[in-house]
Amino acid sequence: MPAPFVCYAVPWRVLRGPHAHGRWSIITSLAPDSHRFIPPNTATPPATAHNTPDDRRPARRYGKAGRGRTPRGHSERTMRTIRLNETTLQTAATLAMLLWSLLARTTPAALAGVCVALWFPASIRVYAVALQWLPVACGMRPHTQDRTTQQNELVAGCLLVAACTLALLITTSPLPALADAVALNLANLLVQFERREGWLPNALLMPLLLCGLLAGVVLDHAGSAIAGACVGWVLGGLGLFGLSVRLRGNFLSGADMLLLCACGAWVGLGGLWAFMLFAGCALLGVRAVRGQFRTPFVQAAPLASARPVWRYPTTLPAALGLLLVFLLASNPALPHWARLLLGG
């Protein structure tokens, strides 16, 4: 007589294996003794090929999170893989920059390219240390408090700055290109700092302003740099105040006005109008992205006891405005009148 077809419906916790898909699971069998059912909370059945001591963690077998901690060996292998990927990216980018330096058309451009290539991996570590200890030095948080690293954003920002510096070396002489690289590096550090902490330190804003004025003296346009700083402070403050009233957001602060003043010193009076246009468009784009995804960008209250206030980031639009002005002003393909509007 053939074996009867038996069907059981048991809770999913009783069934351990790939059949446990829902709240209840169906067990079918054609074995003669399939009518025997071992209820839960009873003795463990004898070890078979599917429940041996080496195979007692079905959650790990089928890609789910187990109840225990991740094994140490698996964690170390994962960390090694992450470090290897980041190290490989930095090494490949540095070698590519060094190769570009060897192919440069002039010796000063080649030396500047070597400096940019060597500064790229060093800038990641310098920025990481600054982002970790600058809030502690300003007294905003204790050094024992853990903060998110956001290493991918930091590496991407440093790589973008290095690539744009090499692009500037193609179209301009090494001295203006390296001066613009200083501004882009400080702007990148400000963007990373505001993204993590939600405020702008004067310890970074004042060097950005002073370096802009010094670059104007070295590059023989000190008057334009001073005028750009003054007009940037006035027009930037008025523009941020108008945006705050019109959009009912928190756009205006003393640090934001100092940031626009420093950017005005870097682009000069001639390129200030294009910078304001690019930065304003970028700021409206940031607001549109925030409205679409309904997620705040930075938190303006760093202290734990204060009520959090969400504000729009201003360093990212300012950094994008600086980058566009630097790249377009040095582009020889643009007509002369366009370069004059950009301060070139």
CB 113 within 8 A of CB 166: yes
Q: Rounded CA gap, 58 and 10, in Å?
A: 18
Q: Rounded CA gap, 190 and 207, in Å?
A: 11
What pLDDT, in 10s, does the model give residues 94-114?
999 999 988 888 899 999 999
- Which long-range contacts (C-beta less than 8 Å, at least 24 apart) are formed by 294-297? 297/195
What pLDDT, in 10s, does the model give residues 294-329?
545 555 544 545 555 556 678 999 999 999 999 998
CB 255 within 8 A of CB 202: yes
Q: Is the dihedral of CA 333, 335, 339, 344 positive or negative?
A: positive
What pLDDT, in 10s, does the model give residues 37-95?
445 555 555 555 444 444 444 444 444 444 455 555 555 555 455 455 778 889 999 99
- Which long-range contacts (C-beta less than 8 Å, at least 24 apart) are formed by 286-291? 286/312, 286/313, 286/316, 286/317, 287/247, 287/249, 287/312
What pLDDT, in 10s, does the model give residues 231-267?
999 988 888 888 778 767 666 788 889 999 999 999 9
Which residue, 217, 152, 163, 214, is CA-closest to 185? Answer: 163
Say which residue the tokens 């997620």 belong to: 295
CB 186 within 8 A of CB 322: no
